[in-house]
Structures are given as structure tokens and as C-alpha cells.
Amino acid sequence: MDFNDSKEEATFRNEAREWLVANAPTAADLNGLDDMGQAKLWQKRKADAGWACIRWPKEYGGRGANAMEQVILSQEEAKVKAPNTGFFSIGQGMAAPTMMTWATEDQKKQYLPKLASGENVWCQLFSEPAGGSDLAALRTRGVRDGDEWVVNGQKIWTSGAQYSDFGILVLRTDPNVAKHQGLSYFFLDMKSPGVEIKPIKQISGASGFNEVYFTDVRIPDAQRLGEVGQGWQVALTTLMNERASIGGGGGGAGFEQIMKLAQQLNIDDKPAIEDKQVRANLANWYVRQAGLKYTGYRSMTALSRGEIPGPENSIGKLVGAPLTQDLASFAIDLMDQAGILWSPESAELENIFQSAYMSIPGLRIAGGTDEIMANIIAERVLGLPQDVRVDKGIPFSEVPTGN
């Protein structure tokens, strides 16, 4: 066991580092650009030099690199000061793999390079008010009209819809067959007439999500991915990639930060870190955070050996999000009566735990709730049976509905 790169990996790391250091945007490059403008500038620069979406084939804007090289590039990019390109993660991480598997060759050539370069931003239109954990219960209707589909209904929790150029979406195209059989999968131009986007204000005050309404929106049949009625199968390609791309992060509120806080604050006129209960709590968070880190190393080792990582990695979000929530809550308690203060102008340690406290509830739900993640581990990793489903085998239109 060691933590060293192989010879090829070391060569790649050097090459990546040299390029990143030489090409990361300077303050002058970014002057006057908003967050999206900065992200687009950096993404385009990476794409032009072959450092964007490096695992993709070259003809679609990638580099044909392996998974370990992707890990190395991400590690090195985290070390340079570069704009946050999170705007592109849904498109590149979820829409693109789905296009790669299900789109025609012409479509791949048309859409993928612009996804890689950040020229186009994509969003994912899956969840609905009646289709959350039970995603296949979605009701937004698609009705065929010649070479087009007419769409009516509502999507919800759509991250980034307000700045997206395209979206991937799943529609109910046949309500008279069983739930999973009546779905079809499309992509559409978000500027299509009849698409209306309304931001959702979250408990944190931020608005990262939207409701998206469809009123007689027309989508060409050529933008269908997979056969009519095969939408669920196509959606699974997207979902498998989603869970890999949502971490458990809490905006920098982790062990290191709470350790610092406990060293700065006092309990009974002594540094809080000397309090035995504080130490025990900190130790518990440390070992869970470390467990995730070393689980990641095991997965990386599999990648480095050209193997597929085992199921260990499916635990990241399920462990990380509740861990950060508990840690943030405890940090606020440590601040005692002033723990309720929450101002963006405050010093980092007087702000990040409050921000994490208010944003983590969303992470425990997004991309599969804790409960759904536990089901996935139970069923796919441990091989336990699925729940009994009362909607199995009956037409969707006859499935009982509540509120």
C-alpha cells in the first residue's frame, strides 16, 4: 500500500499541473465578468486545449482519458485558483452520458462539444410535485402530434433552469399502461414557446431551484432519446450518473473548521477543545470524515488498476450530508447565545456553520433522499428484496393518488 502515482499517472499529473498553472485565468482576465461569464471563459479555455471533459472521446470534445486521469485533473484543478464551473456539472455529468448512450451520431456531434466547452448549459427536468422519490409517478403529459410532441404540465426542483439553454426531460406519453412503461425521454430547447420558469425560494434564502411550467410546448420527435415507452430505462442512465455527482459537502463546514472553532471559543473559561464532550463529538465526526476519504482512496485504487470501483462509494452523500448537519448544529451550540447570528459579512467561522445548517436539509433530499439512498444500498449492495408495491402492473391512470 502506498499513495504514490504510477509512472504514467505522475507524468499525466505533471502535464496537467503545468497547463493549469500556466493557463488559470488571472484577475485581469476575469475583470468585469459575472460568475457565469467567468465559468464560461475558463471552461472554453480548457476545452480549446483539450482539458475539458477529458474522459469523453476526442470527437465529442474530450480527450479519451481514463477515470484515474480525471481524478488527477480534478485534484490539480482544486489547487489552482480558477472560476467555479459548477454551472456545467448537470449537463456534463448527467445529460452528456445519457446523450452518449442514447442519441444519434449526428446529435452527439452537434451537442456534446458545446456542452464540453461550456457554450451550452443544460438542466434536468425530472422531478414533479407528484413525482419525487417515486420519480416514475410523474404526470407531465406528452401527446404526439405528427412529427412533434405537445407537452403540458409542471416540473419542480430544476437547478439552473433560469440560465440553461437545453434540458433533458421525462414525460408521460401513455397513462393507460403501468407506471414505468408509459414514459418517454426527450431533450428540448429551454427557449421554446410555452416554457415558464419560476424560482423557488429555499429556507436558506437562496434560489437554486425552479418550478418549470409547460403550456403546449412543442418538441420535435427527433429529440426523443430511446423508443416511445422506454423513458424509464433512459432515465436510469441519467440517475446512475447523478448520484455520483452529488457530494455531501457543506460549503467548507467540516472537521477542520469546527476544530478551529473549538480552539477559539471558551467553555467555563477554558478553551472548548479541552471539554471532554466536545472532544468526543469531534472525534466521532473526524472518523466518519476520514472513513469517507479512505473509502474514496479505495475506489481510486480500483480506477487506477482499470477496475470498476465496488459499491463502497455509494455511501458518500448518505454519510456526508447528515454528518455536516450535526457538525454545524453543534458548532452553533458552541457559540452559545450568539450562535443565532448569521451575516454574510461575518468572519468565516462565524458564518459557515449557520450557512451549512440552513442549506444541508436540501442536500439530504436532493438526488435521492437519505431514505432512498438507504434503499439503494439495501437492494443493490446487500441484495435485499424491493418493497411491496401496490402500483405494480396496473395502468398508471388507476394508481391511487393522495394530495
Partner 1 sequence: MNFEFSEEQNLLREQTRGFLKDFCSPKVVRASLEANGPFNQELWRKVAEMGWTSTVIPEEYDGLGLSYLELSVIADELGRAMAPLPFSSSVYLATEAILAQGSKAQKEAWLPRLASGELIATFAMAENHGQVSPKNLTTTVTNDKIHGTKTPVPDGDYADLAIVVTQSSKGDGASWYLVDLTQSEIQRAQVRTLDPSRSHAQIDFNGASAELIGTDGGGWAATQNLLNRAAVLFAWEQVGGSDAALEMAKEYALGRYAFGRPIASYQAIKHKLADMYVRNTLARSNCYYGAWALNTNASELPIAAATARVSAIQAYYFASKENIQTHGGMGFTWEFDCQFHYRRSKILAVNVGSERQWQDKLITAIEQTSAA
Binding site for partner 1 (CB under 8 A): 1-5, 9, 68, 259, 273, 276, 279-280, 282-284, 286-288, 290-295, 297-298, 300-302, 304-305, 312, 315, 318-319, 371, 374-375, 377-379, 381-388
Q: Cα separation of 161 and 154, whole Å?
A: 13
Cell numbers linked to 69: 486521469
Q: Which is nearer to partner 1, 124 or 304 (CB)?
A: 304
In the bound complex, what is the minimum distance in angstroms from residue 375's beta carbon to partner 1? 6
Name which of 304, 293, 314 is nearest 244 in CA terms. Answer: 314
- The nearer residue to partner 1, 286 or 342, going by C-beta atoms, is 286
C-alpha 377/C-alpha 399 separation (Å) is 27
DSSP string, 91-136: IIIIIHHHHHHHS-HHHHHHHHHHHHTTSS-EEEE--BTTBSSSGG
Closest to 135 (Cα-Cα) out of 389, 318, 374, 367? 367
Which has the closest alpha carbon to 157: 216, 191, 193, 198? 198
Amino acid at 264: Q
Backbone angles phi, psi at 86, to 5 degrees: -60, -25
How far is Cα of residue 311 from the mean position of the Cα atoms in its chain? 18
- Beta bridge partners, 270, equal 267
β-pairing, 183-189 vs 224-225, is antiparallel
- Residues 71 and 69: their CA atoms lie apart, in Å, by 5
Spatial distance between the Cα atoms of 160 and 56, rounded to a whole number of angstroms: 23
Closest approach, Cβ 359 to partner 1, in A, equals 22
* Catalytic-role residue among 242, 307, 350, 371: 242
What is the nearest approach in angstroms of partner 1 to the Cβ of residue 312? 5
Q: Select 163 or 294, whichever has its Cβ closest to partner 1.
A: 294
Classify each residue of 202-215 as buried b or exposed e, where b means 16 or more C-beta atoms within 10 Å of its C-beta: eebeeebbbbbbbe
The amino acid present at 60, given as its one-letter code, is Y
Nearer to partner 1, 144 or 279 (CB): 279
CA 257, 354, 372, 102 torsion-angle sign: negative
Minimal distance in Å, beta carbon 21 to partner 1?
A: 22
In whole angstroms, the minimum distance from the beta carbon of 35 to partner 1 comes to 33
Output 102 or 255, the one with its CB closest to partner 1: 255
The helix (H) or strand (E) run that includes residue 259 is helix 255-264
Grid cell listed for 280? 468526543
Contact yes or no for 219/192 (Cβ under 8 A): yes
Q: Least CB distance from residue 380 to partner 1, whole Å? A: 10
Closer to partner 1 by CB, 135 or 282: give it.
282
Beta-bridge partners for 125:
169
The identity of residue 6, as a single letter, is S
Name the minimum Å distance from CB 105 to partner 1.
Answer: 36
Question: Is 69 an annotated catalytic residue?
Answer: no
Nearer to partner 1, 4 or 401 (CB): 4
The CB-of-243 to partner 1 minimum distance in angstroms stands at: 14
Q: Which is nearer to partner 1, 137 or 259 (CB)?
A: 259
Catalytic sites, residue numbers: 242
